[in-house]
Structure 1
């Protein structure tokens, strides 16, 4: 009697995970969500724990810092940081979504000069009010706004204050305007593009968006998925930024061994360091990053701490390099 062939699927071998600590600067490709990009990179590193530092739309490319292991404790810092974008606007055309994916709502003639462009951009410098677009991931009653928009439902949105630190005009040619924008978290560049178009009297929509900076981090030293896939595991580990990379623009405080132990246990201590709302704190060994803290009224207060095991792991990894 012939045995029946089994129809059950063959189980894939489980890939062993490992402790990885550090920050990867990913140059996210077009068409991939931030979470999909994270999961692909997490598998490449076989990392136990990983997270990204703020959503970058599938239609946007550029800098997406990914945190591994101990670095995930500081991902909120990058979420709160100012961002820099390079955006391309198509003048004279408004769309349903404010970008190139939407249907055309209106077309108007474009009759502007470089001076008009400069004046329009200057109107949006500094603190401004923005109404979040319907085609956004902002949640209302547990659903993203874009879900309502796709169902043809318009939801009332409260304006929010954001800050445009500067706008630089990079290129103006045949109805396409390229700008660079430094802004606070929560700024919708798509909305800014539409507002600039209205200020010019011709309308506009966003055709390309690339993030070039997040806090102190830039695309310099960033890697694409293709580059990471072509590397060995050791080569991938070597391109990781240190755990404290997200805090690179914070002042430094170094502690002696006894005070470092107290800091890691969460105990407050007196210090001669001037008051500061945020510091990166190190132990006596070179590269011994302990966590973040603040100084108020001459007292050092811990904010986010690495565990002693994580500190030792980072020192061991540094010694082996």
Structure 2
């Protein structure tokens, strides 16, 4: 079996938990995932099955989230899973002020990841160092926020803001909540997070682990095609004996000057794998299927 599973990750499960559960359900050892989600986050977790794990590196990187930001509170983890550092009821804060501050997060920005994150410093995970009480400053990284749309504003002593965020890879939504609170001088933390888009997969097309288990019991589960999330790549079709030669590792001459990564098919539309166009050659980079 090969292909992809668009999983709706449940609350309080790690991404590793989901992979382990999927392995048991499918009876397949070779399972991988794209884009780790924190245990407190839910939503789209792309799962690669069998040889499709080799395609994970070629998936698109853009992501989207629905997030709830709570103001007036700051925690050690920048979400509700951590210890409260400060908590002060807010007497005066309006949506107009918050919306103005949010504009500072759109476009390419510099971001410091949360102390409790999987980023490595000197070979050690930040969350491991944080749990030991060691204070290590996370390296600043450049990320891109394509859009932040306000969905709802709830007033109160600790007002909450629901937003949709579309962003590039490596963006920490917890850091946005923390930094928004810093700009407003109120403190801020992430109260809820759901990933709605990841690596070419959408929440509307996802299934839960419970639904997966039910489909397997009725023999009704079919993984998504291995090339389904790769539509952002151009495609090339090989003819004659070219598919067999290419799948054997040979370079195929093409009359093209472009340099890019492409999907490769035979004339019967069988997805053969990933190639690189370079110097008028189609070079095999990942052969998924053998061609006769």
**How much has 1:216 moved relative to structure 2?**
2.0
- Structure number with greater Rg is 1
Aligned residue for 1:14? none
**How much has 1:300 moved relative to structure 2?**
1.9
Contact 2:273 2:289 in 1 (8 A): no
Contact 2:115 2:137 in 1 (8 A): no
Task: Compute the TM-score of the two structures, normalised by the length of structure 2.
Answer: 0.92
1: distance between equivalents of 2:146 and 2:286?
28
Moved more, 184-193 or 133-142: 133-142
**Structure 1 residue 243 and structure 2 residue 223: aligned?**
no
Aligned residue for 1:194? 178
1: distance between equivalents of 2:262 and 2:15?
29
Structure 1: gaps (5+ residues): 1-19, 313-321
Aligned residue for 2:267? 284
Instruction: Detail structure 1 runs of 4+ shifted over 4 Å in the superposition.
Output: none
Q: 3-state DSSP class of the match of 1:39?
A: helix
How many pairs are equivalent? 288
Aligned residue for 1:11? none
Q: 3-state DSSP class of the match of 1:231?
A: helix
Structure 2: gaps (5+ residues): none
Aligned residue for 1:23? 4
Find the partner of 1:115 among 96, 102, 110: 96
2: distance between equivalents of 1:247 and 1:233?
29
Deviation string 1:164-219 (CA, Å, 9 cap, x unpaired) is 11111111112110111111211111011111122223221001111111132111
Distance 1:280 1:59, change over 3 A: same
Matches within 5 A, 1:225-304: 225-233=209-217, 235-238=219-222, 240-273=223-256, 275-286=258-269, 288-304=270-286
Contact 2:262 2:275 in 1 (8 A): yes
**Structure 1 residue 87 and structure 2 residue 70: aligned?**
no
Contact 2:271 2:289 in 1 (8 A): no
Task: Compute the TM-score of the two structures, normalised by the length of structure 1.
Answer: 0.84
**How much has 1:302 moved relative to structure 2?**
2.3
Across the aligned residues of Structure 1 and Structure 2, the Cα RMSD in angstroms comes to 1.9
Aligned residue for 1:100? 80
Aligned residue for 1:76? 57
2: distance between equivalents of 1:266 and 1:81?
28
